[in-house]
Amino acid sequence: MSSITRRRALGVAAGAAGAVTVLAQAGPAAASAPRAAAPAADSDPASFDEVYRGRRIQGGPAHGGHHGGHHGGGYSVTIDGQELHVMRNADGTWISVINHYEPVATPRALARAAVRELQGAPLVPLTLG
């Protein structure tokens, strides 16, 4: 059994490094989208660090050397130190690999939703085999 990171499984982190720039250019489209509950797409959401239902959830700008780029436009979310794969939608809402079909307004709401869904289970890197 091989255990590899999700990003290696993909081979490349498609377009992640340019995501913030492109999001900024997409400003008008994002602003006219229906679920504009989140801050404007060209401003980064606030960092957070809290214990929610007994688990530490953290979010903030991703820094170099931490798995490379992120589809969240340079934003990283962890649960008990394990990275939760997150993605930002064009309208500024967020989804994660745990809740991939139900956008929420902020990364903090996304982390809390993942904790509820996990029911205490640990996040694991993608396991193949």
Partner 1 sequence: MTVRKNQATLTADEKRRFTAALLELKRSGRYDAFVTTHNAFIMSDTDDGDRVGHRSPSFLPWHRRFLIEFEEALRSVDATVALPYWDWTADRTSRSSLWAPDFLGGTGRARDGQVTDGPFARTGGRWPVNVRVDGRDYLRRDLGAAGRQLPTRAEVDSVLAMETYDTAPWNSASDAFRNHLEGWRGVNLHNRVHVWVGGQMATGVSPNDPVFWLHHAFVDKLWADWQARHPRSAYLPSAGTRNVVDLHDTMRPWNDVTPADMLDHTAHYTFDTAA
Per residue in 95-111, is it b (16+ CB within 10 Å) or e — as a string? bbebbeeebbbbbbbbb
Give, for 99, the enclosing helix (H) or strand (E): none
Residue written as token pair 């590899």: 4
Segment lying near partner 1 (by CB under 8 A), choices 10-18, 45-53, 55-63, 104-112: 10-18
Q: Per CB under 8 A, does 107 bind partner 1?
A: no
- The site string for partner 1 over 25-64 (x = CB under 8 A, - otherwise) reads -x--xx-xxx------------------------------
| Binding segment (CB under 8 A) for partner 1, from list 48-56, 57-65, 104-112, 120-128 | 120-128
Residue 103 binding partner 1, by CB under 8 A: yes
**Would you count residue 102 as binding partner 1 (CB under 8 A)?**
yes
26 torsion bin: left (phi>0), alpha (psi -120 to 50), beta (else): alpha
Q: How many residues bind partner 1 (CB under 8 A)?
A: 44
Report the distance separating Cα 123 and Cα 126, nearest Å: 9
Residues in a beta bridge with 122: none
Question: 87, 82, 46, 44: which is closest to 66 by C-alpha?
Answer: 82
Distance, in Å, from the CA atom of 35 to the CA atom of 28, rounded to the nearest integer, reads 14
In the complex with partner 1, the residue whose CB is nearer, 49 or 117, is 117
Residues that bind partner 1 (CB under 8 A): 6, 9-10, 12-16, 18-19, 22-23, 26, 29-30, 32-34, 71, 73, 85, 87-91, 97-103, 117-119, 121-124, 126-129
